[in-house]
Amino acid sequence: MTINGLIMMRKEGTLLVVDDNKSILSALEILLTRYFEKVILLNNPNQINSNFREHSIDVVLLDMNFWTGVNTGNEGLYYLSHIKEISPETEVVLFTAYADVELAVTGIKQGAADFVVKPWDNDKLIATLQNAYNLHKSHKELKHIKEIKKELQDEPQMYWGTSDAMLRLRETVEKVANTDAAILITGENGTGKEMVAREIHNRSARSNEIMVSVDMGAVTETLFESELFGHVKGAYTDAHSDRAGKFEVASHGTLFLDEIGNLPYHLQSKLLAAIQNNRIVRVGSNSPIDIDIRLICATNCNIYKMVKDGTFREDLLYRINTIHIDIPPLRQRKEDIVPLASIFLKKYVQKYNKSISGFGAKAEKALQAYEWSGNVRELQHTIEKAVIMSDNGLIDEASLFLKSSIKPNTATESFTTLEQMEREMIEKAINRNPNNLSAVAQQLGITRQTLYNKIKKYEL
């Protein structure tokens, strides 16, 4: 259904109209009750406080002048400031009979969402108020998301270990954490790249805000822009409401883009534009939104070789790589293995209510001798399984269920399960096509997304 060319939507939101002209209030009541769930009319601005105590007000249409013979607009600016003080999330649209651009700019700088000039155009007034309401909803959604994330964040403590490589890494983190420098973290799967990113965030000036993590390999190409930049209602078939993207949610905090090397080449330019301009545009909108993020990226790929091969943009690499941090694999810092295992043991003993005090001597030797191709993540899974399966006071070697590190030769190799066969096939295809997941997926006859899910599953 349309009225005067405007699409009639479900009525939402509470609107407070403050104007000392009762004729204007009557006209606006007739017009605006078709668009807002509740319209409150007020001819005396001194009653603003009591109305905010009684109602949850989303948008205010505020007259700029209230007293006869006074047309400076200062009254409106005063009440604008007061409203933003008592209810920062409420959006205010200024209403003035004088098309004073300088005054309107002053009002917007002080927090107004927009302004409308009297005599007003109905369509423009409605569109302006609805835009203000959508802005209010977005800010409210953003705040809600941040509150949930802060409540749910269960951040394990960083264990640096005693190896020289990790002590040097810690020194670098301490130097760069309190800057806004873009950081690229590299390392094999399971080395703890996200843990290091979170440590940087926690040591930064943004630590009171959230760190938003995005697994770039898990974001489908068709939803890339929607996930990162957000969308407006009606932007596409399933866009039933406005939605903030990850850049917007992370604004004033840290955005962590994991597996950045898996981002397809044709999407890299869109990411680069957002980073360069510190600005995004939601899908379906023409209104730019300024963002303020600390960017940390991570990858297990040889990203410098990818640039050389033409699969990763060199200009994007420069943007994300002010500081490069490389995390050594666990097999290169064997002195950290048993202390790390002890941390995981304590965690899972408590979780599963077991009476296990430590590791037997043979178990410790086995832990240090193992290759740990899955690094810290594989060690953690191994200790959890050992705690579940062990009935002794100490974890023995048998409870670790460590796989043999001796690989069968091609002449005699055999597969015991379909999963083992699949893992071997994927591993070989990756070795034949290093740093080119598209070629690996094509060779195996599966989609890139399916391949990525299986790589995560098998910790390749």
Domain boundaries, the chain: 2-138, 164-326, 331-400, 418-458
User: pLDDT (tens digit, 9 = 90+) per residue, 44-79?
Assistant: 888 999 999 888 899 999 988 776 545 566 778 888
Give me the pLDDT at residue 414, please: 47
E strand or H helix at 59, and its extent? strand 59-63
Q: Is 375 left (phi over 0), alpha (psi -120 to 50) or beta?
A: left
Assigned CATH class of 331-400: mainly alpha
For the chain, residues with pLDDT lower than 50 are 1-8, 69, 152, 154, 405-415
Give me the pLDDT at residue 76, please: 81
E strand or H helix at 358, and its extent? strand 358-359
SS3 label, residue 413: coil
Give me the pLDDT at residue 72, please: 60
224 close to 268: Cβ distance less than 8 angstroms: no
Cβ-based burial of 170 (10 A; exposed 0-12, middle 13-18, buried ≥19): middle
Span 418-458: which CATH code?
A: 1.10.10
Q: What homologous superfamily is domain 164-326 in, according to CATH?
A: P-loop containing nucleotide triphosphate hydrolases (3.40.50.300)
Q: CA 8, 13, 17 angle in degrees (round to 5)? A: 100
Give me the pLDDT at residue 435, please: 62
The reply to whether omega before 329 is within 30° of 0 (cis) is no
Give me the pLDDT at residue 73, please: 61
Give me the pLDDT at residue 410, please: 43
Identical fold between 164-326 and 418-458:
no
What is the rounded CA–CA span in Å between residue 399 and residue 127? Answer: 67
Give me the pLDDT at residue 2, please: 44
Q: What homologous superfamily is domain 2-138 in, according to CATH?
A: Response regulator (3.40.50.2300)
